[in-house]
């Protein structure tokens, strides 16, 4: 008897169905994996971009041709300070430790621009005499940030902590004032330089005006309100022809945007003094020089170019007269800053409300002995044993003024300001520092009879 054929149709249908399910699941897995890979890649890319901006701010800072670039830089720092500096217990411990005085009746000073030239020297001097010092600096790239990092390292060795942040960051400033009852603020953070204003004008407004106002807004709400000593500039005298320059002379003819922002700062200070009872002292610095100085200053880049055998440009006025400056050594400027802090009266407001008239002062801090740029070059030639290759050219119309000369009678009377370092002695100390810091090897450099302080 013949057997009947086996019915395989059901098995085939089941196999086809299982195969379809496997293909469907495989497709879903591939799609899901692709989406996950895309999201992970996007997240990694965003993280890399964020850290690139943080670690390489020079791509978004002073060398950028876009005049609005400072917004990127400031925003980055605000993100940093708000997300990182606002909380940790270890960070707060550093802030408190650095700002606590070590002497009886010592000051507790917030120094803005503490990694800068004048700021680092003042911070060191305050700390050495037993005052509490807390710094804040954004370490921008207007000039080589490694120099600022070097100053930061030196201050750290003396237990001065510098908060890395921007004075435009209101949240960060409020946090610092919540932690520390500062007695004084030494406000030295600023966008410096006369000529750079032609390349990046908005950076001066952002730092010298907006940053100053933001600081004052924070200080006015503090309890107690600290007294403020801040850096104006001899540049405010602008086109003034009366010499020596006195605090009573007119300052309504600025020759540069930098000068205009500093003059604006003086008017803003008057306003906050009048309305909120803030004690404010403006210091008009005259061409500060010395060790750890700014590379954009003539004495600094003259030294660099002369050591490298490069030519230097020496300016004369449009009518062929010599350009002269009242060069003031850093140690003398520091004495003036500390004298101003020591004689600053308390602010009279509380919680943003004025309770009585407050101190408002303006002082010149100079050397009272103008020296021509040609004489400066001659001194450097003798110290470096190098003959300068000079190109004598007309001073460009970029905001520089041909002559400065400080009358310091008022500062001498009020807090005993008396500069003691002439240009030859000061430059000798600078050259010794420069050679050591940059590792220049030359047996011919004259560094004898030097008693400079590190």
Q: Any idea which residue has 């030294």 for tokens?
A: 303
Rg (CA), the chain: 30
32: tokens are 């899901």
Specify whether 258 is catalytic. Answer: yes
Query: ∠ CA(145), CA(395), CA(383), 5° rounding?
Result: 60
Task: Indicate which residue of 85, 143, 237, 258 is catalytic.
Answer: 258
Helix/strand/coil for 180: coil
Sign of CA dihedral 202, 206, 212, 214: positive
Read off the tokens for 116: 């800068």
CA atoms of 445 and 423, how far apart (whole Å): 18
CA-CA distance, 299 to 295, in Å (whole number)? 9
Pick from 215, 197, 317: nearest CA to 260: 197
d(CA 403, CA 7): 112
**With contact defined as beta carbons under 8 Å apart, do 183 and 227 qualify?**
yes
CA 323, 329, 333, 335 torsion-angle sign = negative
Contact 408, 368 (CB under 8 A): yes
CB atoms under 10 Å from CB of 444, counted, come to 7
**Tokens encoding 328:** 């003031």
C-beta separation of 289 from 330 below 8 A? yes
Question: Using CA of residue 266, residue 269, residue 273, residue 275, what is the dihedral sign?
Answer: positive
Catalytic residues: 258
């Amino acid at each position: 008897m013949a057997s009947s054929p086996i019915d395989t149709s059901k098995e085939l249908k089941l196999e086809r169905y299982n195969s379809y399910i496997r293909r469907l699941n495989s497709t879903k897995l591939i799609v899901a994996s692709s989406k996950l890979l895309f999201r992970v890649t996007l997240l990694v890319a965003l993280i890399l971009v964020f850290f690139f901006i943080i670690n390489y701010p020079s791509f978004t800072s002073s060398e950028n041709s876009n005049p609005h670039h400072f917004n990127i830089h400031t925003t980055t720092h605000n993100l940093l300070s708000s997300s990182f500096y606002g909380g940790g217990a270890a960070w707060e411990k550093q802030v408190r430790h650095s700002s606590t005085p070590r002497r009886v009746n010592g000051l507790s000073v917030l120094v803005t621009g503490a990694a800068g030239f004048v700021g680092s020297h003042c911070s060191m001097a305050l700390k050495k005499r037993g005052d509490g010092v807390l710094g804040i600096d954004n370490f921008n790239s207007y000039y080589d940030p490694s120099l600022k990092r070097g100053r930061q390292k030196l201050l750290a060795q003396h237990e001065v902590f510098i908060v890395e942040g921007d004075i435009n960051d209101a949240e960060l400033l409020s946090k610092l004032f919540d932690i520390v009852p500062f007695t004084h603020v030494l406000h030295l953070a600023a966008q410096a330089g006369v000529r750079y204003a032609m390349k990046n004008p908005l950076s001066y407004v952002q730092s010298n005006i907006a940053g100053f106002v933001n600081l004052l807004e924070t200080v006015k709400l503090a309890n107690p309100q600290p007294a403020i000593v801040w850096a104006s500039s001899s540049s405010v005298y602008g086109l003034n022809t009366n010499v020596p320059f006195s605090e009573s002379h007119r300052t309504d003819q600025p020759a540069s945007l930098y000068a205009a922002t500093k003059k604006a700062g003086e008017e803003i200070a008057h306003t906050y003094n009048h309305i909120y009872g803030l004690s404010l002292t403006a210091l008009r610095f005259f061409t500060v020089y010395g060790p750890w100085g700014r590379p954009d200053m003539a004495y600094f880049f003259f030294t660099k170019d002369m050591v490298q055998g490069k030519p230097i440009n020496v300016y004369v006025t449009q009518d062929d007269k010599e350009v002269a400056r009242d060069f003031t050594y850093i140690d003398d400027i520091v004495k003036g800053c500390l004298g101003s802090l020591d004689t600053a009266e308390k602010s009279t407001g509380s919680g943003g409300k004025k309770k009585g008239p407050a101190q408002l002062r303006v002082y010149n801090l100079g050397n009272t002995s103008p020296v021509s740029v040609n004489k400066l070059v001659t001194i450097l030639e003798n110290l470096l044993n190098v003959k300068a290759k000079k190109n004598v050219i007309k001073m460009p119309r970029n905001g520089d003024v041909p002559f400065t000369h400080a009358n310091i009678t008022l500062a001498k009377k009020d807090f005993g300001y008396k500069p003691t370092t002439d240009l030859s002695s000061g430059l000798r100390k600078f050259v010794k520092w420069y050679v050591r810091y940059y590792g220049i090897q030359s047996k011919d450099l004259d560094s004898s009879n030097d008693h400079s302080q590190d």
